[in-house]
Amino acid sequence: MSSLHLNAVRQFEQAASLLGLSEADRAILAVPKNEVIVNFPVTMDNGTVEVLTGYRVQHNNSLGPYKGGMRFSPAVDLDEVRALATWMTFKTALVDIPFGGAKGGIAIDPRNYSAGELERIVRRFTFALGSNIGPDHDIPAPDMGTNAQTMVWMMDTYSSMASVADRHTVRRVVTGKTVATGGSRGRDKATGQGVTFVLDAWLNRTGGSIDGKRVAIQGFGNVGEHAARTLVKAGATVVAAADHTGAIYNGNGIDPEQLWQYTSTHHGIKGAPDGEPITDDDLWRVDCDVFVPAALENQLCERRALDLTATVVVEGANGPTTPEAELVLADRGVTVLPDILGNAGGVTVSYFEWVQNRAGDAWTLSDVDARLRRLLRDATDETLAAAKEFDCTLRDAAYVVALRRLTTVMAQRGVFP
Ligand code: GLU
Q: Please write the tens of the pLDDT for every residue from 15-63.
A: 999 999 999 999 999 999 999 999 999 999 999 999 999 999 999 999 9
pLDDT over 70 percentage in the chain = 100
| Residue to substitute in 343, 348, 353, 356 for testing ligand 1 pocket (most ligand atoms within 8 angstroms of CB) | 343
DSSP state of 87: H
Q: Reply yes or no on whether the pLDDT at 1 is more than 60.
A: no
Q: Mind listing the pLDDT tens digit for each residue in 194-225?
A: 999 999 999 999 999 999 999 999 999 999 99
Task: State if residue 100 touches ligand 1 by the CB under 6 angstroms criterion.
Answer: no
- For residue 86 and ligand 1, the question of a CB distance below 6 A is answered with no
Q: Which residues are catalytic?
A: 103
pLDDT, tens digit (0-9, with 9 covering 90-100), for 355-373:
999 999 999 999 999 999 9
Query: 31-173 with 190-337: one CATH topology?
Result: yes
Q: Indicate if ligand 1 lies below 6 Å from the C-beta of 81.
A: no
The pLDDT, as a whole number, for residue 2 is: 78
Looking from the CA of residue 91, the nearest atom of ligand 1 is: 10
Please state, as a whole number, how many other Cβ atoms lie within 10 Å of the Cβ of residue 161.
Answer: 13
> Model confidence at 327, in pLDDT bands (50, 70, 90)?
very high
Domain boundaries, the chain: 31-173, 190-337
Pocket of ligand 1, candidates 81, 86, 88: which has the most ligand atoms within 8 Å of its Cβ, to mutate? 88
Report phi then psi at 51, rounded to 5. -100, 120
Closest CA to 291 of 221, 235, 219, 387: 219
Q: Is 68 in the pocket of ligand 1 (CB under 6 A)?
A: yes
Task: Quote the pLDDT of residue 412.
Answer: 97
In one-letter notation, the amino acid at residue 114 is S
In terms of CATH architecture, what is 190-337?
3-Layer(aba) Sandwich (3.40)
pLDDT, averaged across the chain: 97
Q: Return the ligand 1 atom nearest residue 71 CA.
A: 1
Alpha carbon of 148 to ligand 1 centroid (Å): 12
User: What integer pLDDT is reported at residue 12 of this predicted model?
Assistant: 96
Ligand 1 atom at minimum distance from 143 CA: 1
Predicted confidence (pLDDT) per residue in 241-265, tens digit: 999 999 999 999 999 999 999 999 9
- β-sheet bridge partners, residue 337: 314
So what's the pLDDT on residue 31? Answer: 98
Strand pairing partners for 328?
none
What Rg value do the Cα atoms of the chain yield, rounded?
20
- Decide if 178 contacts 148 (C-beta within 8 A): yes
Probe target for ligand 1 pocket from 76, 144, 347, 357, with the most ligand atoms within 8 Å of CB:
347
- CA distance linking residue 58 with residue 416, whole number of Å: 18
- For 399, other C-beta atoms within 10 Å of its C-beta total 28
Is domain 31-173 annotated with CATH 3.40.50.10860? Answer: yes
- Please tell me if the CB atom of residue 353 comes closer than 6 angstroms to any atom of ligand 1: no
Centre of ligand 1 to C-alpha 278, Å, is 31
Task: Give the SS3 label for residue 187.
Answer: coil
* Residue of 144, 118, 98, 125 whose CA lies nearest to 44: 118
Rounded Cα–Cα distance for residues 151 and 46 (Å) = 25
144 Cα nearest atom in ligand 1:
1
Cα separation of 224 and 317, whole Å? 9
Chain segment 363-399, per-residue pLDDT in tens: 999 999 999 999 999 999 999 999 999 999 999 999 9
Q: What is the pLDDT of residues 61-109, one digit of tens each?
A: 999 999 999 999 999 999 999 999 999 999 999 999 999 999 999 999 9
